């Protein structure tokens, strides 16, 4: 059961471009805090706040390894959010993907 | 989105690389992949105003009545299924020229706001943006129509 509060936390977490960028960075593998903060032109405590929101949503995990803290991405809450989307919305998205693909393939063949 | 009658609606857009007349005709042609008739195991289609349709997939029957057909700009029909709790919802598709292409907009409205549908629609668009950016459409690969219907019928 995916609780509405948790859904709100996940949607809040992914509503900010910096937090989406952090997720994008961590999707390729765990990173140290300093590495996570490096690309951003913001104060370290601002990055810390973003990480706290991601952690509250269950989208990241911190793990201590020796003297370093590694942060890793957890995709599961995002997958659970998908389950909340109206199935007709998913249905139409899937259908329109196929429809668009049909025309894209057709156009490609015509160019040959 | 939620309105005062406690129904839900959502909007999906795609840019299709063909002129509106071609896209319009393809949407009503069961031989073309992507339209609902093409997805059906069994269907009846009478695509004219007040014409009826029926289509079924994995035991779920869908019924509707065309309320507007204006080639090449607009198609509107009702949509009734177990997943609308037997109530009439509305599907409106518009085809707008964009240079040599077509902006296709599908709005599914008047969906009953029942338990399974709550809480998700507002988050969908920007959630999908994240998925597109980060996961290369990975969420869509996981979707299976039959599974969605099985869970809907519980």
Q: Given B121, B123, B140, which is nearest A97 (Cβ)?
A: B140
Q: Does A95 touch chain B (CB under 8 A)?
A: yes
Q: Percent of chain B, pLDDT > 90? A: 49
* Assigned token pair, B59: 């035991």
A41-66: pLDDT as tens digits = 778 888 999 999 999 999 999 988 88
Q: Rounded to an integer, what distance in angstroms lies between the CA atom of residue B96 and that of residue B73?
A: 6
Q: Rounded to an integer, what distance in angstroms lies between the CA atom of residue B76 and that of residue B64?
A: 10
Written as tens digits, the pLDDT of chain B (154 aa) is 444 457 778 888 889 999 999 999 999 999 999 998 888 999 999 999 999 999 998 888 999 999 999 999 999 999 998 878 888 999 999 999 999 999 999 998 988 876 544 433 433 344 444 444 433 333 333 333 344 334 333 3
Inter-chain contact B14–A91, Cβ cutoff 8 Å?
Answer: no
Inter-chain contact B35–A82, Cβ cutoff 8 Å?
Answer: no
| pLDDT in the model for residue B114 | 64
pLDDT band at A2 (very low <50, low <70, confident <90, very high): very low
Q: Are A89 and B121 in contact (CB under 8 A)?
A: yes
B window 73-112, beta carbon within 8 A of A: 83, 104, 106, 108, 111
A9-30: pLDDT as tens digits = 888 888 888 898 898 888 888 9
Domain B7-114 fold: Alpha-D-Glucose-1,6-Bisphosphate; Chain A, domain 4 (3.30.530)
Domains and CATH numbers, chain A: 4-85 (1.10.10.10)
Nearest to A60 by CA among A27, A35, A82, A93: A27
User: CA B73 → CA A42, B24, B53, B94, distances in Å?
Assistant: 48, 7, 20, 6
| pLDDT in the model for residue B139 | 36
Q: Does A46 touch chain B (CB under 8 A)?
A: no
Nearest to B67 by CA among B98, B100, B90: B90
> Percent helix, strand and coil across chain B, each rounded to 5?
30, 40, 30
| pLDDT in the model for residue B5 | 55
Inter-chain contact B135–A90, Cβ cutoff 8 Å?
Answer: no
B7-47: pLDDT as tens digits = 778 888 889 999 999 999 999 999 999 998 888 999 999 99
């Amino acid at each position: 059961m995916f609780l509405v509060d948790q859904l709100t936390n996940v949607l809040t977490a992914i509503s900010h471009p910096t937090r989406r960028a952090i997720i994008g960075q961590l999707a390729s593998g765990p990173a140290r805090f300093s590495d996570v903060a490096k690309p951003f032109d913001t104060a370290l405590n601002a990055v810390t706040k973003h990480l706290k929101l991601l952690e509250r949503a269950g989208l990241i995990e911190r793990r201590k390894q020796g003297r370093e803290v590694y942060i890793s991405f957890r995709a599961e809450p995002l997958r659970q959010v998908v389950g909340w989307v109206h199935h007709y919305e998913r249905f139409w998205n899937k259908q329109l993907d196929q429809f668009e693909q049909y025309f894209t393939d057709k156009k490609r063949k015509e160019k040959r | 989105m939620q309105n005062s009658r406690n129904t839900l609606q959502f909007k999906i857009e795609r840019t299709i690389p063909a002129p509106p007349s071609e896209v319009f005709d393809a949407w009503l042609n069961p031989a073309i992949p992507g339209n609902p008739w093409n997805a059906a195991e069994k269907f009846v289609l009478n695509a004219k105003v007040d014409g009826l349709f029926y289509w079924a997939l994995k035991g779920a029957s869908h019924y509707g009545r065309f309320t507007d057909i204006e080639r090449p700009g607009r198609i509107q029909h009702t949509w009734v299924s177990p997943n609308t709790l037997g109530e009439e919802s509305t599907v409106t598709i518009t085809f707008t020229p964009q240079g040599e292409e077509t902006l296709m907009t599908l709005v599914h409205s008047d969906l009953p706001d029942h338990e399974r549908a709550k809480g998700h629609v507002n988050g969908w668009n920007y959630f999908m943006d994240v998925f597109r950016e980060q996961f290369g459409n990975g969420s869509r690969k996981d979707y299976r129509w039959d599974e969605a219907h099985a869970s809907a019928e519980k």
